Homo-oligomer: A and B are copies of this chain.
Amino acid sequence: MKEQFKLENQLCFRLYTASRLITQAYYPLLSEHGLTYPQYLVLLVLWEKDAQPVNDIAKRLMLETNTVTPLLKRMEAEGILSRRKGKEDARQMIVSLTRKGRDLQDRLSDVPATVGGAVICHSVTPETVPGLFGMLDDVIATLKDNINDKPVKE
């Protein structure tokens, strides 16, 4: 009843802290271009495939639309992307990169390597990264399933 409450034994606290610190490592690289880290994630999704509905972006990032919608609106205000109603399905909002949004990929070309280099350490190297990725992917998949199963129609 004591040991389990120690901060050192918490996986969540480690993930939470590591996530925050890496995001902070992105900060100087992104803010230079007027971007935040979640906005950068949206760009990663759109660079892979342009012109997607809000829902596809949200699903890819495993976020809710109530998080993504305001994010996209801010990016639209910055001229990074545009949002237009879907032609087939008028409920959808199709999000497309503007010229400015596409050009950012070149301007941010050294961001991944810079941040990647900053996290290399004794136990996290090109050799061990796949194992780490696997464990995190596994945790994510497990939790995702649990959450989806949760709404038990009583």
Contact string against B for A residues 134-147, beta-carbon threshold 8 Å, 1 for contact and 0 otherwise: 11111111111011
- Interface of chain A, helix or strand or loop or mixed? helix
Is residue A39 within 8 Å, beta carbon to beta carbon, of the partner chain? no
> CB distance B25 to A143 under 8 Å?
yes
Contact A60 B21 (CB under 8 A): no
Partner of A15, one of B10, B28, B47, B136: B136
Smallest Cβ distance from A129 to chain B, in angstroms?
7
**A7, A12, A62 — which one has the most chain B CB atoms within 10 A of its CB?**
A12
Copies of the protein in its oligomer: 2
Q: Which chain B residue shows the least CB distance to A22?
A: B12
**CB < 8 Å neighbour of A143 from B16, B21, B129:** B21
Among B44, B105, B119, contact of A11 (Cβ-Cβ < 8 Å):
B119
Considering only residues 65-122 of chain A, those with a C-beta below 8 Å from chain B are 105, 109, 112-113, 115-116, 118-122
A147 & B12 in contact (Cβ 8 Å cutoff):
no
**Interface set of A (CB-CB < 8 Å, partner B):** 1, 4-7, 9-26, 28, 37, 41, 44-45, 47-48, 60-62, 105, 109, 112-113, 115-116, 118-124, 128-129, 132-144, 146-147, 150
Contacts A10-B112, A12-B23 supplied; 13 other A-B pairs, CB < 8 Å: A4-B113, A5-B44, A5-B48, A6-B48, A12-B115, A13-B41, A15-B18, A19-B19, A21-B140, A21-B144, A25-B146, A121-B142, A124-B138
